[in-house]
Structure 1
Amino acid sequence: MPPSASTPASPSSSAPAETPWLDADQQHAWRAYLLGTTLLLDRLDDDLRRCHGASLVEYEILVRLSDHEGRLRMAQLADSLAHSRSRVTHTIKRMEKSGLVKRADSPDDKRGVYAVITEGGRALLDEMAPTHVAGVREHFVDLADPADFEATGRLFNAVSDQLIAGHPDREMR
C-alpha cells in the first residue's frame, strides 16, 4: 500500500531523500482523476461495443487513419495512440479480418508497412462518430464549466508536452 500524504515511505536508491508528498486535496484530486478516467474510458468503450461492435481503440485507429489521408505507417500509428507496436499490430489484424483496414507495403521503404482505412472502415467510422461524441459530451464536456474545461485542456497539453519530450522519436500529435 502506498504511503499516505503524511507517512513517508522508506527511501530507495532512486527516490530523493525528501519526497514531496501530496497533501489531502491533491491526493483527493489525483484519485478522482484516476477513477474518473477509468470509468469514462470504460463507458465510451462499452457504448461503442454495444452500438457498433467495435472498441474505443478501434475507433481511435480509424480516426487517426482518417485524419492522415487514410493511411499511416504502423509505427506512427502506435506512437500516435501511445500504445505498443505489438498491441496495435494485433488490433490491426482483427480489424483487417473485419474489412475495416488493410495493410500495405511502403513504396518508399520495403521494411515499412502502412495501415490503410477501407471503405468499410470509413463507413463504420461515420456510424460510430455520433455515438462517441454524444458520450464524450454527456460524460465529460457538458459536466464542466467552460473555464474548467479549458484549464483541463491546458493541463493535459502540458502533461503531454512534458512526457512526449522524453520520447522525441514519437510523432504523437
Structure 2
Amino acid sequence: MTKKRDTSPKRGWLSPNQQRAWVAYMRVQLRLSYEMNRQLQADSGLSLADYDVLVALSDEDQGMRVSDLAAQIGWERSRLSHQLRRMEERGLTERRPNAEDRRTTNVVLTATGRRAIVEAAPGHVDLVRTMFFDPLPENLLGPFTAALEHIHVNLNHNSSLPPAPK
C-alpha cells in the first residue's frame, strides 16, 4: 500500500497556490496604492487618503455619519478623525450635527471638496484604467469581480471593523 503524500498546508501556513495568490495580490495592492497616491498628488494636490474620503462622500448630499464613513472606507475612527481635521483645514469637508440624531456627526463635502473630486477624477480614472483594467483580459473581469465581491462580503461579516453601510 502506498502512502499518500500530505499536500495540505501546515497550520499557520498558506498552501503554495494560496501563497502565490496572496503575494501577487499584495504586490498589486501596494504598487497600485503608490502609483495612485503619486498621480493624485502630482495632478491635483490630493492624497490617496483624501480621494478615498471624497469618493465615499461624493454621492451623499446630506453627508455621512463619521462611523458609517469609517466603515465604508475601512478605516479606524481615529485615523478618519485625523484625516478629516486635515481636510477641514483645507476646506474640503466639514462636520455638522446629524439632523436626525443630534448625538452623532455627519461629514459633508464642501463646494471646494466637490470641485476637487470632479477635477481629480479624470486623471485618476485614466491611471486606474491603464494600470489595472488594460492588462486584465476581458474574460477574467467577471470572475475577478465576483471573487473580490465574495471576499468583501466575508470581510463585512468576519472582520473587526463594523460592516460597510449599504
Structure 1: which 5+ runs fail to align? 9-17
User: Are residue 171 (structure 1) and residue 164 (structure 2) matched?
Assistant: yes
* Cα-Cα RMSD: 2.1
Out of 8, 29, 46, the position equivalent to 1:54 is: 46
Label 1:70 to 1:125 Cα distance change in 2 as closer, same or farther (>3 A). farther
Checking the alignment, whether the CA contact within 8 Å between 2:87 and 2:93 is kept in structure 1 is yes
Question: TM-score, normalising length from structure 2?
Answer: 0.87
Partner of 1:43: 35
**Matches of 2:146 and 2:125 in 1, distance apart?**
21
Structure 2: which 5+ runs fail to align? 1-6
Out of 3, 11, 27, the position equivalent to 2:19 is: 27
Out of 133, 147, 150, the position equivalent to 2:139 is: 147
Label 1:112 to 1:19 Cα distance change in 2 as closer, same or farther (>3 A). closer
Out of 95, 98, 106, the position equivalent to 2:98 is: 106
Label 1:98 to 1:19 Cα distance change in 2 as closer, same or farther (>3 A). closer
Q: Percent of pairs identical after alignment?
A: 30
- What is the aligned length? 159
Deviation at 1:50, TM superposition (A): 1.2
Provide Cα deviations, 1:52-110, integer angstroms capped at 9, x if missing partner. Answer: 11111211211111122251111100000010011111111111010111110112222
**Matches of 1:138 and 1:128 in 2, distance apart?**
16
**Matches of 1:117 and 1:74 in 2, distance apart?**
13
**Matches of 2:155 and 2:110 in 1, distance apart?**
33
Label 1:38 to 1:109 Cα distance change in 2 as closer, same or farther (>3 A). same
Checking the alignment, whether the CA contact within 8 Å between 1:81 and 1:172 is kept in structure 2 is no
**Matches of 2:94 and 2:27 in 1, distance apart?**
36
Checking the alignment, whether the CA contact within 8 Å between 1:100 and 1:121 is kept in structure 2 is yes
**Matches of 2:106 and 2:100 in 1, distance apart?**
11
Out of 88, 98, 101, the position equivalent to 1:96 is: 88
User: Are residue 135 (structure 1) and residue 127 (structure 2) matched?
Assistant: yes
Query: Of the two structures, which has the highest relative contact order with CA contacts closer than 8 Å and spacing of 6 or more?
Result: 2
Q: Which amino acid in 2 is paired with 1:66?
A: S
Provide Cα deviations, 1:126-156, integer angstroms capped at 9, x if missing partner. Answer: 1100011011101001110012122211111
Tell me the SS of whatever aligns to 2:163: coil
